[in-house]
Structure 1
């Protein structure tokens, strides 16, 4: 809540004050119409990673556990200072932090991210059910589903802010067979380009990102294609 200072004292909306020789109930309208008499101090919500104090209505950017840049949103209360994210006052500061801190991930790192994926937490009748442990089961029993999920995590990470167009008019890269061959032949797999994006495929923003995903997955690609 913002602090209101009147005659060097803190007052609140609804207080009875002496105002121009009258006793009045303080309203927001009185405060707004008399900025020379009332000093409004915004409530400090939190301080960003780049050292900037954030107040109600300020715009912020944040980086999630995948080192993906999000935001540009206005904040209105302290709930926005969620410790699952790293907050910044500008997009440029967030991008510089990602460049300086983002580690090179291994395939095992992406698999471990599944255990942090809170989209697998379901609440029903005030009871939270954690289904993240099922990924170990899926890896053995439903490997295609498991490795598709890992591939999507890799794509989300490597693509950054890039997203495929919602309409079928943009180029994007995906993993496919280079020629008709046995999928056990890892060398037959490569980065392929669609001039118009389609639904149901995991896309990458450029060839190098797609090829990096292929390298990370290795022979596990056979479970996907």
Structure 2
């Protein structure tokens, strides 16, 4: 027969304090925390990073106005290695967006026949510049240049209205006709004859 424990909480006695629990030795590889330590922390973070990168690429692919260049690069990165996906997110997406923005400017210049000289000049300057210059032109610059073109066009029309035309200038420079013939004077006057119904 086994000896009876003196207390109903006898099983707590060996671990009654943290100091006593630390003194207890366990064989290597027998405890659960030892087995969990075998998993490398880099593997968990690496898999999480791959999942985060895929999610970010899918989010880019879901954008409403995604351009062809960005879409092609995103799809290629999604089907490539994790390093390629990460490379796309750090640099490739910006190159794809710049490519699409430059294409949008070229399309605007080629397709729209109502593009004024100010917009054309601003677009050419943006295309020669950095990706930031291109983006700024599409967001703000084209509208500023268009407003300047409209103001210049309105000013030109106003000058045209106020400036004397060639016929006015020619008649104003002639001396007044003295002694017009009666026929010329009669032709200029309205007729007094009653018109028949």
Higher helix fraction: Structure 1 or Structure 2? 2
Give the TM-score of the pair, scaled to structure 2: 0.23
What is the TM-score with the length of structure 1 in the denominator? 0.21
Larger radius of gyration: 2
